[in-house]
Amino acid sequence: MKGMKVLFKKEVQDYLNSPISYIILFVFLGLTGWFFTTQVINSGMATLDGFVTMVPFLFLFLLPAVTMKLIAEEETRGTAEILETLPLKRFEIVLAKYLGAVTFICIMLIPTLIYPITLAIIGKIEWGVV
């Protein structure tokens, strides 16, 4: 379990040090901000319906970009053999890498909390939709 925790921390650190991760984050936040703003302005209503339906489609294209490096990067770095020699099962290696990707995705979603907060400040929001 200790080795899995170390591998998880390494994965999160790799995501936070990678320029590709910041490009993905910038594209995601830019598109969600644009969709949110245009929907509120065009509809004249403070609603998150369009935003909530649009985010899964964005994830459809952006999540493969986040996850495709999980195992392939170990091969290109030449560290796949080192991972195999660690006292970890393959399941633990894959789980640590998966949890690292999920953590980065959660980091991507945290800034989008500003949208419902903004709507709550502007007017009355139905939190059931959020």
* DSSP 8-state code for residue 86: S
Residue 129 lies in a domain: no
Domains: count for the chain:
1
Residue 16 lies in a domain: yes
Host domain of residue 70: 2-122
Residue 129 binned pLDDT confidence (cut-offs 50, 70, 90): low
Structure tokens at 129: 């939709």
Write down the pLDDT at residue 108: 92
pTM for this model (two decimals): 0.83
Whole-angstrom CA distances from 5 to 1, 11, 54, 112, 126 are 6, 10, 34, 28, 39
pLDDT at 114 over 80: yes
Residue 118 lies in a domain: yes
- Within the chain, how many helices (H) and strands (E) appear? 7, 0
Residue 122 binned pLDDT confidence (cut-offs 50, 70, 90): confident
Residue 85 lies in a domain: yes
Residue 25 lies in a domain: yes
Residue 127 lies in a domain: no
Percent with pLDDT over 90 in the chain: 26
User: Which run of H or of E encompasses 83?
Assistant: helix 80-85
Residue 69 lies in a domain: yes
pLDDT tens, position by position, 41-76: 887 777 787 788 888 898 898 888 888 888 888 788
